[in-house]
Amino acid sequence: MANINPGTNDTVIDESQLKGKTLLLPFSLVCCLFFLWGMAHNLDSVLIPHLKKACQLDNKQSVYIDMAVFFAYFVMAIPAGMLLKRFGYKNSIIIGLFLFACGALLFVPAANTLTYGIFIGGLFIIGCGLATLETAANPYAAILGDPAKSTYRLNLAASFNGLASVVAPLVGKYFILSGKDYSVAQISAMSATVKANYFLSEASSVKLPYIVLACVLITVAVLFYFSYLPEIKNVSKEETAGGSFLGALKHRHLSWAVVAQFFYVGAQSNLHCPVR
């Protein structure tokens, strides 16, 4: 039986009630989330060499650009699960979107002041938002409709990550990368004023894409707030649920999945870190 979820305008539905049903609008909104966090990850591969040039970073410092996002996943993973349990799918997604937007907006003061630390802080907050979004959106995409088609829905939603991997490099090419690459000798030959203006111009090119991204994120968050997004529960499973976080790791398949995820993220991060 459906009932009203306390603190929201949405209903709580048992998963068994969704057999043969399609929730097209909520699922479409969730697919947007997969695209948005795909954009964030794929823009990193553009940001690393660009900020390395603009902020005059060495290889070690440039690696921290990508590390900030993935370290945020490590820090935020458990709190994101707690948020999901406490506030439900809809509210957790909105929280994740606003964290994501706040991190993106930090690129403005970072570029204006050429402050590497603010860029890193912004990326860390973006990572916290992404971790929250993924924690809520992945299982929500799977359960948002007929249980028999959960795998199909999750794979379809994940395909929007692939679309983002095509769009993000184009955004980087046309709106972030200037194409102005000078050798160390040429930069050394510049006057202090010309050099400062060059670095400031390079850093400033990230502002517009990330301001637009933040505006899109806030708009999507507003759409989620006003849209019908049911809280879906599996009553039979929740009645027998129990145990702890460490207890869950006693399940061999989950433990090996954690190991596989560790190496997968390591490989993904390494692909984003070109050394020049």
Q: How far apart are CA 131 and CA 134, in angstroms?
A: 5
Residue 6: pLDDT over 50: no
Q: How far apart are CA 36 and CA 49, in angstroms?
A: 22
Residue 270 lies in a domain: no
Closest listed residue to residue 89, CA positions, set 147, 133, 155:
133
Q: Are strands 3-4 and 11-14 parallel, antiparallel or unpaired?
A: antiparallel
Going by the DSSP 8-state scheme, the letter that residue 229 receives in this structure is -
| Number of separate domains in the chain | 1
On whether residue 256 sits in a domain, the answer given is no
Residue 258 lies in a domain: no
Q: Please report the pLDDT score of residue 211 as a whole number.
A: 95
pLDDT score for 266: 73
Its pTM stands at 0.85
Q: Is 229 a residue whose pLDDT tops 90? A: no
| % of the chain exceeding 70 in pLDDT | 83
Residue 60: the pLDDT is: 85
Domain hosting 203: range is: 9-239
CA-wise closest residue to 98 among 147, 133, 61: 133
**Looking at the predicted structure, is the pLDDT value of residue 94 above 70?**
yes
Would you say residue 135 has pLDDT above 80? yes
Per-residue model confidence as pLDDT tens digits over 66-81 = 889 999 999 999 999 9
Helix axes 59-105, 252-271, angle to 10 degrees: 100
Residue 16 lies in a domain: yes
Please identify which residue in the block is written with the tokens 């697919």: 31
Kindly report the length of the chain: 276
Residue 151 lies in a domain: yes
- Confidence band (pLDDT; 50, 70, 90) for 106? very high
Q: Residue 74's domain is classified under what CATH number?
A: 1.20.1250.20
